[in-house]
Amino acid sequence: MRDPLIMEEMKTYRGRDEAPADFDEFWNRAIAELKLPVDYRLIEKDFGLPTVDCYEIQFDGTNGGKVYARMVLPKGADQSPVIFHFHGYMGRGYDWADMLSYTTAGYGIVSMDVRGQSGYSLDGPRDVRGNTVKGQIIRGVVDGPEHLFYKDVYLDIYSLVELVAGFERVDETRLSSYGGSQGGALALVAAALNPRITNTVAIYPFLCDFRRVLEIGNTSEAYDELFRYFKFHDPFHETEEEVFATLGYIDVKNLAHRIKGSVKMITGLDDDVCYPITQFAMYNRLECEKEYHLMPEYAHEGMFVYTNNKVFNWLCGTHFESKSLLTEFK
């Protein structure tokens, strides 16, 4: 929906809250305290594919987490560029078959399961097998930023990038990140925390500008837990300032200034899950090379018309065309 007032506000909007005063210190310290390089298991999988090599990656994350990812590399290639893919909230990483198209362009791809969601990565300190997804945005918020669930997810991502960058068959100077919704947010996090990522594509990124989400109102399952916290735990909002101050440490807009590589963002203007205004709270804080693309008729949904070609071009340097019926097929 092209709301003229919202469209005008989006041009300069930077969010409802500023980052905590010690934000960069917090993340720099968290990264410095990681035990790197991580111990890992690299398990080769034989699927009878003649042109690619497939691997499972497993390593221990922070606070007892177990991290799982899939990696596909062009067979026999040395120093392949690699794309890190991240999935949407409540989901899981790519299936093996989803990853193969990138190898035709000479790229490897790594797809990580977010701990405690629907894949194989496990959240600590207990190895709970299965879905623990509801409540992850606010998990730990009462106990402070060190206890936030997404703090550990963000550090998993940093460790994964460091690990893969060190593989002999990977070109550590050509690393990209990509995803939609939660995956779009995590692709931005990867670039913000690890400068090895030089190219990012984010589709309708999640986890931005939490206070504006609360002000707009509860229209989506993805943010429902934020509203449920206040409705069932603090209906008079006596802890609102403390909650948003803590959530500020995982708000992706507050990480935007740390990104040094290029960013391309796609936003559907009918998105009522990750509201466009919240996405631009992040975008307008970027200090790197950047561009956005709007799709007025699209909501928080699959964007299959021309979009996959554009994303592939941005990530792999290809030149797929998007021909218009009016100009090309008269």
Tokens of 283: 């975008």
39 is catalytic: no
* Residues 109 and 102 sit within 8 Å (Cβ to Cβ): yes
* Residues 159 and 196 sit within 8 Å (Cβ to Cβ): no
The one-letter amino acid at 287: E
Residue 8 Cα to chain centre, angstroms? 26
203's enclosing H/E stretch is: strand 197-203
Q: Which of 300, 319, 322, 324 is catalytic?
A: 300
Cα Rg of the chain (Å, integer): 20
DSSP state of 26: H
3-state helix, strand, coil in the chain (%, to 5): 35, 20, 45
Q: Which of 159, 181, 209, 251 is catalytic?
A: 181
Contacts of 73 (CB under 8 A, 6+ apart): 52, 53, 55, 80, 82, 103, 108, 169, 170
293 is catalytic: no
121 is catalytic: no
State the catalytic residues: 181, 271, 300
